[in-house]
Amino acid sequence: MTDALIGYIESAAALAPVWGFALVLLFMTVESSFVPFPSEVVMIPAGFLAARGGLTFGSPIVDAVLCVIAGTAGSLVGAYINYGLARRLGKPFLERYGKYVLLGPAKLARAEELFLRYGAGATFVCRLLPAIRQLISIPAGVSRMPLGSFSLWTGLGAGIWVVVLTGVGYYLGDTTAEMTYAELVHTGKDTIRGNAWWVLPGLALGFGAYVLVSNRIMRRERREEAAAVGDS
């Protein structure tokens, strides 16, 4: 899928000096919704163009920061689309018709399993995992997860992923000679794979912190409920 998309998005990149941030927002919204495609083809080139002064303001740091903001906002908008539709339509509808938008029963079941097992933390961790990134919003919507909690964990996970991709693109733009669009995307993906070892411990710590805080909150709520029952 990556190679099939590269030509189309490369054509859109010609509009980057004027419409770059709007395009990042648009493509990341699509990427995060029911039409999943690799976010690498958007955010790595965006970081590359920012480093080369090829975006709106011509300032590498400013443009890179705005790329991160636009990419994270797009990811959130796409996630809200999935969340809202799932919350409104419900599980039976998605199981029956999801296959027509590349959401087969197996994918939906896997996303639901992860959400039921890990709850809100799954919306954070899964935003950093290929294939499941877009789908985790669906069981969150079906289960009517509080919107504030959904926004916090989805935005945090999506933001980290967007920062990583933009940073890789920025690094390549700052340290390499001219590259074709395809070379840029594939080199960026290889760079991420080669350095995944330092990302995983960070994810584990973040998820561990979530579980610790969540368990403490749940224990406190149970104590309060028990106290209320005792008083009555």
Residues 207 and 170 in one domain: no
Spatial neighbors of 140 by CB under 8 A, at least 6 apart, are: 83, 86, 115, 123, 150, 154
Q: Which of 28-32, 38-42, 68-72 has the highest mean pLDDT?
A: 68-72
Q: Is pLDDT above 90 for 28? A: yes
Mean pLDDT, residues 31-37: 78
Residues 26 and 113 in one domain: yes
Q: Is 184 exposed, middle or buried (0-12, 13-18, 19+ CB in 10 A)?
A: buried
From the list 41, 17, 67, 64, the residue with the least C-alpha distance to 170 is: 64
Read off the pTM. Answer: 0.79
Residues 43 and 157 in one domain: yes
Q: In the chain, how many domains are there?
A: 2
What is the rounded CA–CA span in Å between residue 210 and residue 157? 12
Confidence of residue 26 (pLDDT cuts 50, 70, 90): very high
Q: Which domain holds residue 210?
A: 195-232
Of the listed ranges 18-27, 85-94, 148-157, 209-218, the least confidently predicted one is 209-218
Q: Positive or negative CA dihedral for 42, 44, 45, 46?
A: positive
Residues 31 and 57 in one domain: yes
Confidence of residue 179 (pLDDT cuts 50, 70, 90): confident
Mean pLDDT, residues 16-25: 90
Predicted local confidence at residue 24, as pLDDT = 95
Residues 188 and 225 in one domain: no
Spatial neighbors of 167 by CB under 8 A, at least 6 apart, are: 47
Q: Is pLDDT above 70 for 67? A: yes
Residues 86, 134 contacting (CB under 8 angstroms): no
Predicted local confidence at residue 21, as pLDDT = 95
